[in-house]
Chain A
Amino acid sequence: KAGVTQTPRYLIKTRGQQVTLSCSPISGHRSVSWYQQTPGQGLQFLFEYFSETQRNKGNFPGRFSGRQFSNSRSEMNVSTLELGDSALYLCASSIDRSGELFFGEGSRLTVL
């Protein structure tokens, strides 16, 4: 079956712009989580969505937001981009809130 699909895979933005990243979970998976991966900070939890509701949020500023749609697809948005937002953004889905996470290949964001 198809895995977690993230789009776009690569993107370049400039400081001050905003970006929206998309994640399509594995069919039947209802929970979607987002993580940021950087060389300096490693993998850090951003947020978790289940049944269109944000259930957990990591320690990131309000510029980072997300949502989940009724078909479990999720988007995350970063506004007023900063150089430090350059990272690989990973989406993971699970069948429910206690199940194994399956990660997508990520969206690599470069902020110039």
Chain B
Amino acid sequence: TQLLEQSPQFLSIQEGENLTVYCNSSSVFSSLQWYRQEPGEGPVLLVTVVTGGEVKKLKRLTFQFGDARKDSSLHITAAQPGDTGLYLCAGGGFQKLVFGTGTRLLVSP
């Protein structure tokens, strides 16, 4: 069974701080996705990484896929209150996603 562990589980920071969320597994994934879910809504895809060592940037968000394709990280620079939400990594292909345990981020003004 493929499992994805995220850390930290909870993160409460002030606006302007930087943060990194980690997604780790003992299994190799062909690709990993990162989602953000806000209260009362479904997850929204942020990015897909497919190549080991790949780095993708989405404005203030930087995503990295580990060389061995077993882990990934999400770095947010100068966090804003609008970044508040549940961040989820997921892998295993769009047909049958395995989701990570989630990181709940709260950014206070």
Contacts and interface: CB of A to CB of B under 8 A. Distances in A.
Interface stretch (A12-20, A73-81, A101-109): A101-109
A99 interface: yes
Contacts of A90: 42-43
Contacts of A104: 42
A70 B29 CA distance: 33
Nearest to A90: B42
Interface residues of A, number: 25
A100 B88 contact: no
Contacts of A97: 94-95
A11 interface: no
A44 B21 CA distance: 21
Contact of A45 (B42, B44, B48, B96): B96
A103 B48 CA distance: 16
Which DSSP category, helix, strand, loop or mixed, fits chain B's interface?
A: loop
Contact of B99 (A44, A98, A100, A105): A44
Contacts, number: 55
Contact of B95 (A55, A102, A106): A55
Interface in B58-105: 88, 90, 93-102
Contacts of B109: none
A94 interface: yes
Contacts of B101: 42
Given A42-B102, A101-B97, 7 more contacts: A31-B95, A42-B99, A43-B88, A98-B95, A101-B94, A106-B41, A106-B42
The 5 closest A-B pairs by CB, nearest first: A103-B42, A43-B99, A56-B96, A90-B42, A103-B43
7 contacts: A35-B97, A42-B102, A48-B96, A55-B95, A100-B48, A101-B45, A102-B45
Interface of A: 4, 31, 33, 35, 42-45, 48, 55-56, 58, 90, 92, 94, 97-106
Interface of B: 40-45, 48, 88, 90, 93-102
